Chain A
Amino acid sequence: MATMVEEPIDKRQLKTLLKASLKTDLRSSSSRFGGERKSLLGIPPIAFVLLIYLGMSAMLSGVVTRANDVFLGAFFVLAMQMVFVAVTILLEFSHLILSPDDFPILAPHPVNSRTFFAAKVLHMVIYVTMMVVALGLIPAVVTAITYKQVLLFPTMFFASWSAGTAAALFFAIFYTLMLRVGNREKMHRYLGYLQFLMTFVIYGGYMFLPELAKNMFALSKSGFDFTYLYLLPPGWFAAWPSLVSGLVSAVPIWAGSAGVVSLVVLYLIGNSRLSFQYARTLCETVEQQESKAEIRSSSGVFARLLQAIASPEDRVIWKLMRKQFKYDNRYKMSVLIAIPLTLLYLYMGLKGGEALADPFAPLETLTSVRSTTMVYLVLAFIPYIVVIGTAYSTSYQAAWIYYASPADRTRLVVASHRFAIIFFCIPYLVFMGGLMVYFFGSVLHAFLHSIVLFLLLMALVGALALIAPRFPFSLPVKSGQRAGAMMLSFIIPMVVVVVPMVILSRVGYGGAIGYGSVVFVLLLIVVAISTLQKRIVPRRLAKQECLDG
């Protein structure tokens, strides 16, 4: 295929392919033919993510004003932006970089490899630019105002764009490289595990960078030397505003040059990786994966557990969820992402040793709201992540079976929620019970408090079914959907579970009567939600139509 690589970029084809990609992005949440189907809160997923990023840019602007140093401020702003871009690439890889669908559609047409690569890179650059505008525009303005230098605005913005593009290219290349290496039949699975490992790095960055920034800014005031930061990728790009501000010396010049070189090198490597021939490899890998996948029957333990505790609808959905988890990397990732988040939030919450105050004991010292929020947020977002992740699938067209079968529709919906409670929440609750025994020093208190938490979770999961009842794997995956859902996963559980827990950790149960009242009210809420579910969910489901394409 060497002759195809030699062909020049076809501008007309490039324009056509780019137009198709952008239309796909922008329309991925718009109304379908014959019926309106809106995304989260009626906002297109991409716009939703960008709006949230715009909000976060205000936080990044705060970093700039606190840094007291152009380089240090720029370093942390760019580092955070690179993490955000990396998260997006991680979550939306198949939409933004390479989709196994591209090749079957485009292969019969005379599209050359370089044109395909250029279209993919331009699409990614446009997406990154949108993100950088949302994340970097305000910090760039704030940098220019803080240091009273107009030129810092374009420099800082260009540095943001370059850092974001470099991060996007790096992750795109890294992933495509992984697909190229090793046993093809297992490659798909490896990619899933790799994505899983990357979430630790990325969410670690997201969690620790603000704190690191705070500590470093404090150190910088005491004259600490941060020259080594120029060695890190965000430092290469942060050197540009640093140079423009007048801090001209050998280290920023070398670091700034490293930024330029890294962009060029990444582009050149990408040129050989994101080719049309590579799209073929990806397509063949997926086909091969599908043709070779061996379907083994359920393990004895799982099958017996199913028989013992589940209704026929539960058995169907649970088995489906289990098999999807095993063979669908996209789904696996959407669920496994809960693990790094759990560990990181737990670490952040428990590191001060003050997050878990015994609500039965006299509350002499107030617990930290932030730490308490972190610990209980984990408990709340686990079912949310599982439920949201289970609604979306590339196999959404198979959902016709729910509409065509005489199964109880409400039970089919609730089955995925019960799965989240039984297989995710209860094990985590047991783990938290252990933590509570350690912190409270009382098994009874830990047990009683766990009951309250369990009831809150039941209320949360029940409310999710009421607000948005969805058949499992019945909605198409859209650009920005997962990132948008991840953002919402912090907000809804926060309101339903975390706020009551923070209040409780400050006021306590106030004795047996207080505890009894809390449990009684929660029981009433759970029963009310359950009753409402039986009435409302069937009505809402009756209005839904099968997306059979």
Chain B
Amino acid sequence: MIKVENLSRQYGTFWAVKDLSFEIADGQVYGLLGPNGAGKSTTVKIMVGMLAATTGEITINGLNIKTDGNAIKANLGFVPESCALYENLTGREHLEMVCNLHHLPVEGIEPQANKLIELLDLKDAADKRIAGYSKGMKQKLLVAGGIIHNPRVLILDEPLSGLDANAQSLFRELIKEFARDNRIVIFCSHVLEVVERICDQLLIIDHGKKLTEGTPQQIMENQSVTTLGEAFSRLTGATDIDDQARGILRAIERGNGNNG
């Protein structure tokens, strides 16, 4: 179980996250939604110990991130939004590095890495430098690195970005399988169709503050709409999207002297 209480993070005078509280039960896929700059990535970075909270507490399975950081990390997998990888290592070396940092049995590392490399269709690139990988290949590698140590909590920040349709389907199923195994998955994404399909519980934030929380169905009912996209637009105040799109088109036409 994950418990986040009154979490806040301040940069100078700017509050990226303000007084955020929520709980995630075991076996849940928990969706964290919000417009760009809402504070989603800051929240997950605090949860994995990459950033320090200005105030508030996070406990994961009874352990506090401030005092038991490494004990929590031993059972936590994280797939970051950015391609944070040592680009001069090969894909296989990256996975081996993660295994060693997590103290997996030495004899199990190679077969474990090989298995994931094969399942994620990275066999041809496994022994080449990450610097030459496509965005999708890097994303697959980040996912592999996030799960190779068999974590009980998996935090995914835009994990489907750059992946082809088959890989996206694979990861959607993987997330569901994780939850069926009574693990916790935190899923940050802008792809609302996917979020609606796989998340049991959603938290929508904006300007670092909680807007609403509930199942996708509850949120849609509360907003009296039929899709999560509509609910999201209403909650975040983006109701004039058609006008905005027309405005952009008019602006670029004007900028180019109406030449198209």
Tell me the bound Cα distance from A20 to B85 in angstroms. 11
Q: Which residue of B lies closest to A15 (CB)?
A: B100
A309 within 8 A of B: no
Contact between chains at B97 and A32 (CB < 8 Å): no
Contact between chains at A20 and B48 (CB < 8 Å): no
B101 within 8 A of A: yes
Select which of A3, A12, A16, A105 is within 8 A of B84 by beta carbon. Answer: A105
- Give 1 or 0 for each of A62-97: 1 = CB within 8 Å of chain B CB: 000000000000000000000000000000000000
Residues in A with CB closer than 8 Å to B77 are: 108
B128 within 8 A of A: yes
Interface size on B, residues (CB 8 A): 42
Contact between chains at B49 and A27 (CB < 8 Å): no
Instruction: Tell me the number of A-to-B contacts counted with CB atoms below 8 Å.
Output: 97
Residues in B with CB closer than 8 Å to A185 are: 12
B249 within 8 A of A: no
A280 within 8 A of B: yes
- Give 1 or 0 for each of B102-127: 1 = CB within 8 Å of chain A CB: 11000000000000000000000100
Residues in B with CB closer than 8 Å to A19 are: 97
Contact between chains at A284 and B51 (CB < 8 Å): yes
Residues in B with CB closer than 8 Å to A4 are: 69-70
Residues in B with CB closer than 8 Å to A32 are: 129, 131-132
Contacts A32-B129, A32-B131 given; does A110 touch B11 at CB 8 Å? no
Contact between chains at B48 and A33 (CB < 8 Å): no
Q: Which residue of A lies closest to B49 (CB)?
A: A107
Contacts A12-B100, A27-B129, A549-B131 given; does A108 touch B88 at CB 8 Å? no
Contact between chains at A33 and B69 (CB < 8 Å): no
B86 within 8 A of A: yes
Residues in A with CB closer than 8 Å to B74 are: 110
Tell me the bound Cα distance from A297 to B50 in angstroms. 34
Contacts A20-B89, A33-B132 given; does A104 touch B50 at CB 8 Å? yes
A101 within 8 A of B: yes
- Give 1 or 0 for each of A259-289: 1 = CB within 8 Å of chain B CB: 0000000000000000000001001100010
Contact between chains at A24 and B12 (CB < 8 Å): no
Residues in A with CB closer than 8 Å to B85 are: 105
Contact between chains at B101 and A107 (CB < 8 Å): no
Contact between chains at B73 and A110 (CB < 8 Å): yes
Residues in A with CB closer than 8 Å to B230 are: none
- Give 1 or 0 for each of B80-101: 1 = CB within 8 Å of chain A CB: 1011111111000100111011
Which B residues from 60 to 88 make CB contacts under 8 A with A? 66-71, 73-74, 76-78, 80, 82-88
Q: Which residue of B lies closest to A29 (CB)?
A: B88
Contacts A20-B86, A549-B87 given; does A108 touch B12 at CB 8 Å? no
A111 within 8 A of B: yes
Chain B nearest Cβ from A100, distance in angstroms: 11
Residues in B with CB closer than 8 Å to A284 are: 51
Select which of B70, B82, B131, B146 is within 8 A of A33 by beta carbon. Answer: B131
Select which of B12, B48, B73, B125 is within 8 A of A288 by beta carbon. Answer: B12
Chain B nearest Cβ from A15, distance in angstroms: 7
Contact between chains at A108 and B132 (CB < 8 Å): no
Contact between chains at B98 and A109 (CB < 8 Å): yes
SS class, residues of chain A in contact with chain B: helix
A28 within 8 A of B: yes
Residues in B with CB closer than 8 Å to A105 are: 84-86
Contacts A16-B101, A33-B125 given; does A108 touch B76 at CB 8 Å? yes
Tell me the bound Cα distance from A13 to B104 in angstroms. 11
Tell me the bound Cα distance from A292 to B132 in angstroms. 32
Residues in B with CB closer than 8 Å to A24 are: 86, 88-89
A408 within 8 A of B: no
Residues in B with CB closer than 8 Å to A27 are: 88, 129
Contact between chains at B70 and A104 (CB < 8 Å): no
Central interface residue in A33, A35, A101, A111, by most chain B CB within 10 Å? A33
Residues in A with CB closer than 8 Å to B69 are: 1, 4, 110
Contact between chains at B133 and A16 (CB < 8 Å): no
Select which of A17, A33, A35, A106 is within 8 A of B133 by beta carbon. Answer: A33
A291 within 8 A of B: yes
Tell me the bound Cα distance from A3 to B12 in angstroms. 27
- Give 1 or 0 for each of A96-126: 1 = CB within 8 Å of chain B CB: 0000010111111111100000000000000
Q: Which residue of A lies closest to B87 (CB)?
A: A549
Chain B nearest Cβ from A227, distance in angstroms: 49
B52 within 8 A of A: yes
Tell me the bound Cα distance from A244 to B96 in angstroms. 47
Tell me the bound Cα distance from A131 to B12 in angstroms. 42
Contacts A12-B100, A33-B131 given; does A104 touch B82 at CB 8 Å? yes
Q: Which residue of A lies closest to B103 (CB)?
A: A12
Select which of B48, B97, B100, B103 is within 8 A of A108 by beta carbon. Answer: B48
Tell me the bound Cα distance from A351 to B103 in angstroms. 63
Residues in A with CB closer than 8 Å to B129 are: 27, 30, 32-33
Q: Which residue of B lies closest to A106 (CB)?
A: B101
Contacts A1-B69, A292-B11 given; does A107 touch B88 at CB 8 Å? no
Residues in B with CB closer than 8 Å to A20 are: 86, 89, 93, 97
Q: Which residue of B lies closest to A3 (CB)?
A: B67
Residues in A with CB closer than 8 Å to B66 are: 1
Residues in A with CB closer than 8 Å to B133 are: 33, 549
Q: A106-B101, A110-B102, A292-B12 are in contact. List 20 more A-B contacts (CB 8 A).
A: A3-B67, A12-B100, A12-B103, A16-B100, A20-B86, A23-B86, A27-B88, A30-B129, A33-B131, A33-B132, A33-B133, A101-B86, A103-B50, A104-B80, A105-B84, A108-B48, A108-B77, A108-B80, A110-B69, A112-B70
Partner-B contacts on A (CB < 8 A): 1, 3-4, 7, 12-13, 15-17, 19-20, 23-24, 27-28, 30, 32-35, 101, 103-112, 185, 280, 283-284, 288, 291-292, 476, 549
Could you pull out 14 A-B pairs where Cβ atoms are within 8 angstroms? Answer: A20-B93, A20-B97, A27-B88, A32-B129, A105-B85, A110-B69, A110-B74, A110-B102, A112-B70, A280-B50, A288-B11, A288-B12, A291-B11, A549-B133
Partner-A contacts on B (CB < 8 A): 11-12, 48-52, 66-71, 73-74, 76-78, 80, 82-89, 93, 96-98, 100-103, 125, 128-129, 131-133, 146
The 10 closest A-B pairs by CB, nearest first: A33-B132, A108-B78, A110-B70, A16-B100, A104-B84, A110-B73, A107-B50, A27-B88, A109-B101, A24-B88
